[in-house]
Amino acid sequence: MKLLSKSILYFFPISIAVFIAGGVIYYHKTRSMIYHQVDSSLISEKDIIQEQIEKIQDIPDFYAVPGQEINVRLLSEETRPFQNFSDTIIKNPDTGEETAYRMLDYRNALKKAGGYQINIMETFDEKRELLQYLTVSLFISLLSLLVLSLIIYYIISRRIWHPFYDTLAQVNLFDINSNKPLKLEEPNIHEFRQLNKVLTGMAQKVQNDYKSLREYNENASHEMQTPLSVIRSQLELMQQMENLSAGQIRIINVINGSVQRLSKLNQGLLLISKIENQQFNITEEVNLNMIVDKIYSEFEELINLRKITVEKYYQDGIILKMNPVLAEIMISNLLSNAVRYNVSDGFIRIKTVKDTLSIVNSGTRLKADPKELFERFRKAHQNGEGTGLGLYIVRKICDNYGFMANYMYKDSVHELQISFNQPYMHPYGIH
Amino acid sequence: MKILIVEDEYILAESITSYLRMNGYLCETANNYKSAEDRVVCSEYDCILVDIGLPDGNGLELIKKLKEIGSSAGILILTAKNSLEDKITGLELGADDYITKPFHLSELNARIKSILRRRNFSGNTKIQFNEITIDPNEQSVNINNQPVTLTRKEYDMLLFLIANKDRIVSKESLIEHLWDSEVVFSDSHEFIYTHIKNLRNKFYEKNCRDYIKTIYGIGYKFSDH
Can you give the pLDDT at residue A87?
87
Architecture in CATH for domain A284-427: 2-Layer Sandwich (3.30)
Q: Binning pLDDT at 50, 70 and 90, where does residue A423 land? A: very low
* Burial class of residue B207 in the structure, from the number of CB atoms within 10 Å of its CB (0-12 exposed, 13-18 middle, 19+ buried): exposed
**Average of per-residue pLDDT across B14-26:** 92
Whole-number Å distance between alpha carbons of A67 and B180: 116
In the CATH hierarchy, which fold is given to the domain comprising A190-276? Helix Hairpins (1.10.287)
Domain boundaries, chain A: 3-145, 190-276, 284-427
Residue B49 near residue B95 (C-beta atoms within 8 A): no
* DSSP annotation of A188: S
Q: Give B56→chain A minimum CA distance, Å.
A: 17
- Share above pLDDT 70 across residues of chain A, in percent, rounded to a whole number: 96
Crossing angle (nearest 10°) for helices B188-205 and B171-178: 90
ipTM score of complex: 0.82
Flag if B185 and A222 touch (Cβ within 8 Å): no
Go through A231-244 and write b for each residue having 16 or more CB atoms within 10 A of its CB, e for each that does not.
bbbbbbbbbbeeeb
CB-defined contacts A:B, below 8 A? 113
Whole-number Å distance between alpha carbons of B195 and B219: 13
Helix or strand (DSSP H, E) at A82: strand A82-91
CB atoms < 10 A from the CB of A411, how many?
6
CB-nearest to B185 from A225, A239, A340 is: A340
Q: Binning pLDDT at 50, 70 and 90, where does residue A426 land? A: very low
pTM: 0.65
Flag if B187 and A249 touch (Cβ within 8 Å): no
Whether the per-residue pLDDT at B128 is higher than 60: the answer is: yes
The alpha carbon of A353 is separated from its chain's Cα centroid by a whole number of angstroms, namely 35
**Cα-Cα end-to-end distance for chain B:** 24
Q: Binning pLDDT at 50, 70 and 90, where does residue B20 land? A: very high
* Burial class of residue A14 in the structure, from the number of CB atoms within 10 Å of its CB (0-12 exposed, 13-18 middle, 19+ buried): exposed
Q: What is the tens place of the pLDDT at every residue in A126-148? A: 888 888 888 889 889 988 988 89
Q: What is the tens place of the pLDDT at every residue in B133-169? A: 998 888 889 898 889 999 888 899 999 999 998 888 9
Residue A276 near residue B162 (C-beta atoms within 8 A): no
Q: What is the tens place of the pLDDT at every residue in A339-350? A: 888 888 899 999
**Average of per-residue pLDDT across A206-222:** 84
Whole-number Å distance between alpha carbons of A343 and A332: 19
CB-nearest to A229 from B83, B102, B188 is: B102
Whether the per-residue pLDDT at A425 is higher than 70: the answer is: no
The alpha carbon of B126 is separated from its chain's Cα centroid by a whole number of angstroms, namely 16
In the CATH hierarchy, which fold is given to the domain comprising B127-222? Arc Repressor Mutant, subunit A (1.10.10)
User: For residue A426, which phi and psi values (nearest 5 degrees)?
Assistant: -145, 165
Q: What is the tens place of the pLDDT at every residue in A30-86? A: 889 988 988 998 899 889 888 888 888 888 887 777 778 888 888 888 888 889 998
The alpha carbon of A313 is separated from its chain's Cα centroid by a whole number of angstroms, namely 43
- Chain B neighbors of A279, CB-CB under 8 A: 83, 85
CA angle A46, A48, A50 (to 5 degrees): 65
Q: What is the tens place of the pLDDT at every residue in B56-114? A: 888 889 999 999 888 889 999 988 766 666 777 888 888 999 888 888 899 999 999 99
Q: Binning pLDDT at 50, 70 and 90, where does residue A428 land? A: very low
* Least confident window among A345-349, A383-387, B3-7, B144-148: A383-387
Can you give the pLDDT at residue B111?
93
Is the C-alpha dihedral spanning A90, A91, A93, A94 positive or negative? Answer: positive
- Chain B neighbors of A233, CB-CB under 8 A: 12, 15-16, 19, 102, 105
- Residue A31 one-letter amino acid: R
Q: Binning pLDDT at 50, 70 and 90, where does residue B38 land? A: very high
Q: What is the tens place of the pLDDT at every residue in B164-194? A: 988 889 888 888 888 765 555 556 677 788 8
Whether the per-residue pLDDT at A178 is higher than 80: the answer is: no
- Chain B neighbors of A253, CB-CB under 8 A: 217-218
Which CATH superfamily is B2-119 part of? Answer: Response regulator (3.40.50.2300)
Domain boundaries, chain B: 2-119, 127-222
